[in-house]
């Protein structure tokens, strides 16, 4: 079993996330691709992050929608880190997945913008031992890389200029976001009143 692990805050999930997940799953012939919603990301502990249960619900709805369109279980929403609780560390997540299926081959997806910062992550020796690191480059632009001695592979995906930060800002400003996020995420943001200024 080849399992891709794509962790993130997903605040909110956008079409760029889905494009990366689907492209890497296809290119690496993965059996499963997990979108792992962070509970309390340690690198964002001082920032205002939407409740994990809300973020997971939006990711779950979007994944169900795209799987229905494709006609197969292409992606899976995972609340593994939420159920575990506490600060979110990739080493813990990979160890938990390894314990659940010792024979599985794990692939940890990392954006090229974050790849150079991998040495600052917690328990990097465990991460390197438990999973193959997959650095995702977007649109032919080579981004950051792990240190020279950090074994990794690179997958290039089509460019899509969108970020969760930009989505939140656009919602605050009343700008359109419908072309940038899945319909279920758009309706969820509207229904829950997410990212709007506090009255």
What pLDDT, on a 0 to 100 scale, did the predictor assign at position 143?
78
For residue 129, which of 106, 96, 111 has the smallest C-alpha distance?
106
What pLDDT, on a 0 to 100 scale, did the predictor assign at position 45?
53
Cis peptide leading into 12, omega within 30 of 0? yes
What is the Cα–Cα distance from 159 to 152, expressed in whole angstroms?
A: 21
Residue with tokens 């229904």, as numbered in its chain: 191
All domains of the chain in start order, with CATH: 2-192 (3.40.50.620)
Q: What is the per-residue pLDDT across 37-85, written as a single tens digit (0 to 9) for each?
A: 999 876 655 468 999 999 999 999 999 999 999 999 999 999 999 999 9
**DSSP letters of 66-84?**
HHHHHTS---EEE-HHHHH
**Overall average pLDDT of the 164-187 stretch:** 96
| Residues 6 or more apart whose Cβ sits within 8 Å of residue 40 | 49, 52, 86, 87, 88
What is the Cα–Cα distance from 157 to 23, expressed in whole angstroms?
A: 7
State yes or no: pLDDT of 139 exceeds 80.
no
What pLDDT, on a 0 to 100 scale, did the predictor assign at position 44?
58
- Please provide the size of the chain in residues: 199
State yes or no: pLDDT of 31 exceeds 80.
yes
Q: How far apart are the first and last CA of the chain?
A: 49
Q: Check the CA dihedral 91-95-101-104 and report its sign.
A: positive
What is the Cα–Cα distance from 82 to 32, expressed in whole angstroms?
A: 19
Global pTM?
0.94
């Amino acid at each position: 079993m080849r399992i891709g692990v794509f962790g993130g805050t997903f605040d909110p999930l956008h079409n760029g996330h889905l494009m990366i997940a689907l492209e890497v799953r296809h290119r690496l012939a993965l059996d499963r691709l997990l979108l792992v919603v962070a509970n309390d990301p340690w690198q964002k502990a001082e920032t205002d992050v939407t409740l994990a249960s809300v973020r997971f619900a939006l990711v779950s709805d979007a994944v169900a929608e795209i799987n229905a369109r494709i006609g197969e279980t292409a992606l899976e929403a995972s609340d593994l880190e939420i159920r575990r609780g506490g600060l979110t560390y990739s080493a813990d997540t990979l160890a938990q997945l390894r314990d659940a299926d010792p024979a599985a081959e794990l692939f940890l997806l990392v954006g090229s913008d974050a790849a150079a910062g991998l040495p600052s992550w917690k328990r990097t020796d465990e991460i390197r031992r438990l999973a193959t690191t997959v650095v995702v480059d977007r649109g032919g632009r080579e981004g950051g890389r792990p240190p020279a001695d950090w074994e990794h592979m690179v997958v290039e995906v089509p460019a899509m200029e969108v970020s969760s930060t930009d989505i939140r800002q656009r919602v605050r400003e009343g700008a359109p976001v419908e072309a940038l996020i899945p319909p279920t995420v758009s309706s969820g943001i509207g229904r829950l009143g997410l990212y709007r200024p506090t009255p």
